[in-house]
Amino acid sequence: MKLNRRVLLGAAAATVAGSIAGLAPRTAFANDPRRLNVKLNWIKNVQYGALWIATKKGYFTEEGLEIAVSAGGPNTPQPVVSVSAGADDIGYSAWIPFLDAVIQGNDMVAFSATFPRAPLGILSMPARPILEPKDIVGTRILAQGASQRSSIEATLALNGLPNDWEMVPAGYSPEPLLAGEAHGFTGFSTNEAVVLEQMGMVRGKDFHFVSFDDLGYRSYGAVLFAKRDFIKSRRADVVGFTRAVIRGTIDNDKDPAYAAKLSVEEFGVDYGLDIDQQTRQAEAQIPLTVAGDGRKLLALDLDEIAGPMYAAARATGRDKLPEPESIIDLSIVEEAHASI
């Protein structure tokens, strides 16, 4: 069975606090200040293609860095947990888990948005398409957990619509949607939508997909973050890491098949990844790496965070939000781009 990429959108306070106590820094790297421990928020697949390209082409080596990458996924600590505990230096995280960790008192800073556009959304069938927020009202939607539920409820609240829908507990396969068990399925444009395409289905004809971004629930798909004191003490290395990732992203956008090949044959070889699926996923990710408004590749946006993203967070019940400028660093990406 193929593993499905899941962006972990919920970070409960008890989980963070309880998990941190059981983690310790990786002492094997303690004597080498040019090593960086990087924690992913899912398995080693093509969504981290920029990392694989930067490693294979020597971009990290050019920065004087050696990168140790730890996979995420089922039964592994969330990146916000391992970074908070000092077991990792830099983490990949969905926006809401990062925001929750900061709210809970962790002094961490986001410095890049690897996916400024989030791929999470709703798949539906032509018989009852879900294309606008109002289309959710009165439907039954297959959803995987509390975070997906809150995304739908927040979308309705942001659009002034009643919270009138039924959640149907679901796994990671869209097959129940095809069987007519519900009107919609929460999934990813880069994963489940690709699965349906590989079954010969045509998007916009045989099935529909709309992202929560397009429905008005604005979020980042993934951010890069670290402890504030780590960025302060190792700023040059964080900039170098970011520069290498940006270069890898540029290369991936030019040739997504290369990152897919690296994922399947080398970096993610233990997962039995499918080359066709990984190639299509790499292609589908390209529009997510840029916001479409002319900003620099992988850059954060203060106005967007303070505006629609904080509004979306409040709609999920998160009302004690920090000042946005206190938890993001725009200068890392700026400096990285200046020397590419």
Residue 1 lies in a domain: no
Same-domain status, 253 and 192: no
Q: How far is CA 291 from the centre of its chain?
A: 14
Q: Are 65 and 34 in contact (CB under 8 A)?
A: yes
If DSSP codes are grouped into helix, strand and coil, which group holds residue 92?
strand
Same-domain status, 158 and 294: no
Q: Which of 166, 97, 175, 93 is nearest to 136 (CA)?
A: 166
Same-domain status, 139 and 114: no
- CATH of residue 298: 3.40.190.10
- Host domain of residue 196: 120-211
Same-domain status, 241 and 333: yes
Q: What percent of the chain has pLDDT over 70?
A: 89
How confident is the model at residue 3, as a pLDDT?
37
Helix (H) or strand (E) holding 185: strand 184-188
Same-domain status, 325 and 251: yes
If DSSP codes are grouped into helix, strand and coil, which group holds residue 334?
helix
Same-domain status, 70 and 165: no
Q: Distance between CA atoms of 35 and 41, rounded to whole angstroms?
A: 20
Q: Distance between CA atoms of 337 and 297, rounded to whole angstroms?
A: 8
Same-domain status, 114 and 124: no
- Give me the mean pLDDT over the 316-333 stretch: 95
Same-domain status, 227 and 334: yes
Question: In which band, very low, low, confident or very high, does the pLDDT at 19 lie, cut at 50, 70 and 90?
Answer: very low
- Give me the mean pLDDT over the 153-163 stretch: 96
- Number of domains observed in the structure of the chain: 2
Q: Distance between CA atoms of 271 and 274, rounded to whole angstroms?
A: 9
Q: In what order do the strands lie in the sheet with 35-39?
A: 66-70, 35-39, 90-93, 222-227, 108-115
Q: What is the pLDDT of residues 81-102, one digit of tens each?
A: 999 999 999 999 999 999 999 9
pLDDT of 313 over the 70 cut = yes
Residue 173 lies in a domain: yes
Among 156, 182, 211, identify where a domain stops: 211
Same-domain status, 261 and 114: yes
Among 211, 237, 267, identify where a domain stops: 211
pTM: 0.86
Question: In which band, very low, low, confident or very high, does the pLDDT at 24 lie, cut at 50, 70 and 90?
Answer: very low
Residue 36 lies in a domain: yes
Backbone angles phi and psi of 327, in degrees to 5: -120, 5
If DSSP codes are grouped into helix, strand and coil, which group holds residue 37?
strand
